[in-house]
Structure 1
């Protein structure tokens, strides 16, 4: 299972953060699980008014993340799923989206929670989507990673007393 070794993140003092969740629309059942997990995590953290935007597919996640990073968001969570098919399309989309989201984060200094599932089968995606019976909840995990990083960045940008 790919989730072994994941850290238990404890995040405090983050209620005032502006957080956006961007979610692709392909693979509706999986995406509904990822979005639900992300929204549940934000609620647990006391972030009750996140921005939720839907885009056609995973390919569109980086451009929307870049625009939001420039509009004052403290953290962005990108959710999508790409399932391997019989053509090289899978590799191109996965690599392009992954590089694009990393570039947004590094170039802007705004953490981007990586909730892009890159799976060989739909069953693998469902198992990671936070649905009933799933073994992992990647939408939830992506929120905690992004918000935890935003809190860390805020702590190093504030003057020491």
Structure 2
């Protein structure tokens, strides 16, 4: 398996992967993430995919840029500048194999190479698997917030 930058050719497969998660603990919908989200991430070269030997996407993660998230007061000042990770998604038949951890570590390495001192992520309250996974790789809960009509746990780690 390899992790690479996503390309416009990956759009339909990414949408299918995102839509396969509808109804899960992250509470995604037909409207989010959508084609505009993918286009934004592609434009900024912030969308990464893991592909298997058949060139199928098995996971994806994005580096996000959201002013509302950055403005939260829970983030540690000593980790600034920090990046934000979002939209981590592992194909259902590939879950439980450490792929989420690999994707998170890859994206953290990208942020580190861009001069960031830390990383943060919003996790849906009640998404037990994600909260546990992130804690195991060094993320700490630093607060909670209500954004986008949802309640989140704010997690962060330094490099």
**Common fold by TM > 0.5:** no
TM-score (norm 2): 0.31
Whose strand proportion is higher, 1 or 2? Answer: 2
Whose helix proportion is higher, 1 or 2? Answer: 1
Greater relative contact order structure (CA < 8 Å, 6+ sep): 1
TM-score (norm 1): 0.31
